[in-house]
Chains A and B, each alone.
Chain A
Amino acid sequence: METLRTLWETFFDLESMREALPEMLTVGLRNTLLLALVSAVLGTALGMLLAVAGLARTRWLRWPARIYTDVLRGLPAAVTILLIGVGLAPLGLAWWGPNPYPLGILALSLIAAAYIGEIFRSGIQSVEATQLEATRALGLSHAAAMRLVIIPQGIRRVLPAWVNQLIALIKDSSLVYFLGLVASQRELFRIGQDYAANTGNESALLLAGLFYLAITVPLTHLVNWVDRRLRDGGPASEPEDDPAEEADEVSSASDEPPPAALGRAPRPTPDKTLPASNEAPPASTDALPAPDEALSATTTGGATDAGH
């Protein structure tokens, strides 16, 4: 019984939490968000460059991107942060004084970029080659096709993975405490840990954990929501309109009286459409194959011919 009470107070000592709360809100949260946001922006921008370089046709872009990614993903975050934050500290001191944040942000960005670059690259690669072909067939250059059609689609497909990486970044931001922070620079973890050391229980650290969860869990759900919104316009499960209405659309476009229009809302008479159906009756009815033929044409005809 006594052990249980001790255990409870180790984690849920409300008094310790109340003590740590103001500083966590005003200093810790602000610093964690600052570190994470700036690193997220820089890491995403650099990740995009890495993805494009990794897909480049010349190996002089591909190989450096590959090597960078392998190295930065292969190192523990703590090692990279210390190497950059401590190793480059003399430079930092000369440029902006004894603030560990710029180098910490740099290190976090470089790490995030390696992962985000891989995420973007796989997303861009997952876009069907036919999309590029269709864009090129319109006359757009390769670069324009990538920029306007391929990359936007690829990025959308991997948004959830990208947000996962931002969540990892938020958590990794706690590692900048290695670089030595003065009181006003402490982020959530460091403040929690300081209070935990003073009070002799872990409640303040638990509170820091709750702060992290309050950021990361909504982020996960937000991205799922955005993902669903984007998929909304994705592959059709059910066409909205029945074929009868389609025939209606086409015939009204060809300036014929729409036969199926009875009982529907009146459609404005198209005055800017093409004539011609009257003079040259479309091949339509006779051109319709038996359903099984059309199906076999789809299954056999498509695959081999397109496969070249």
Chain B
Amino acid sequence: MPDTNRPGGSTAPPAAPRYASVSVATRDVHLSFGRHQVLRGVDLDVGRGETACVIGPSGSGKSTLLRTINRLVEVDRGDILLDGQSVRDRDPDRLRQDVGMVFQQFNLFPHLSVLRNVTLALRHLKRLSRDEAEEVALRHLDLVGLRHKADVRPGRLSGGQQQRVAIARALAMSPRVMLFDEATSALDPELVKGVLGLMADLASQGMTMVVVTHEMGFARQVADRVVFLDRGRVVEAGPPDQIFEAPRSPRLQRFLAQVG
């Protein structure tokens, strides 16, 4: 895969990097944990370079849906397509190199420096030399404004900084789609802004993103499409204007009133 997210040169105006994004579609996805039906026929369509925000009450299956896309959990029925190709036809480890994921709890590796957090997969999966991996890593740390923290352990960073390192770690692998699982839910309110700004930048640069979030303001402003998930089903989906200004289903109306 070509390294498409090379930063723009120093000449103004710098060209926005274009990510070799893919489209994401889920088709009639069913999934149960034991007797508990988590997903009950979910259809989702995210075009290349689009951002879809998945909203819904806790326990509605949002995070699980996200994990079916990179096969951290396997669907019982239905399919997931990246650019029309079923993820089931691909080796999970190869698939995951194309799908970046950012977690609610950051999940940085506490025993490694910030730099090593980013270089780990580059060295072991992309087989880059130490120098090459560090160059790529520093470029992406630059992107999230944390190059100066490269030698620090994650535990020394604030939650917001940790999450930005996690984003850099995912981006360094040149993913073709990014999954965000409540990326700001564990952050102190004053640190949320920086992470959301970074995500908005990424969206505007053409990365395909599936974002599970409780940040309605972000969904409203950044999403191309908002999907309201409740009890394992898509209750309503559409452009943000429609979802937030003219919700049709009573359940979405109730949900928006609660979080509003």
Binding site for B on A (CB under 8 A): 130-131, 133-141, 144, 148-149, 152-153, 156, 230, 232-236, 239-241, 243, 246-247, 249-255, 270-277, 279-280, 282-289, 291, 293-295, 297-298, 300-306, 308
Contacts and interface: CB of A to CB of B under 8 A. Distances in A.
A280 B110 contact: no
Contacts of A253: 142-145, 198
Interface in B193-238: 193-194, 196-198, 200-201, 203-205, 212, 214-218, 220-222
Given A230-B111, A294-B187, 12 more contacts: A131-B107, A140-B93, A246-B161, A250-B193, A255-B14, A273-B7, A274-B201, A275-B13, A283-B200, A284-B193, A303-B58, A304-B59
B90 to A, nearest CB: 11
B201 A130 contact: no
Interface string B11-29: 0011111000000000000
Interface string B122-151: 001100000000000001001111100000
Nearest to A230: B111
Contact of B201 (A235, A254, A288): A254
A283 B7 CA distance: 22
A137 B97 CA distance: 8
Chain B interface size range = 35 or more
A72 B249 CA distance: 65
Contact of A302 (B101, B182, B192, B205): B182
B93 A308 contact: no
Contacts of A287: 192-193, 196, 215, 217-218, 221
B159 A239 contact: yes
Nearest to B218: A287
Chain A: interface secondary structure?
helix
B158 interface: yes
A276 B191 CA distance: 21
Contacts of A276: 16, 201, 204-205
Given A138-B121, A273-B7, A287-B221, A153 B110 contact: yes
B96 A139 contact: yes
A48 B212 CA distance: 40
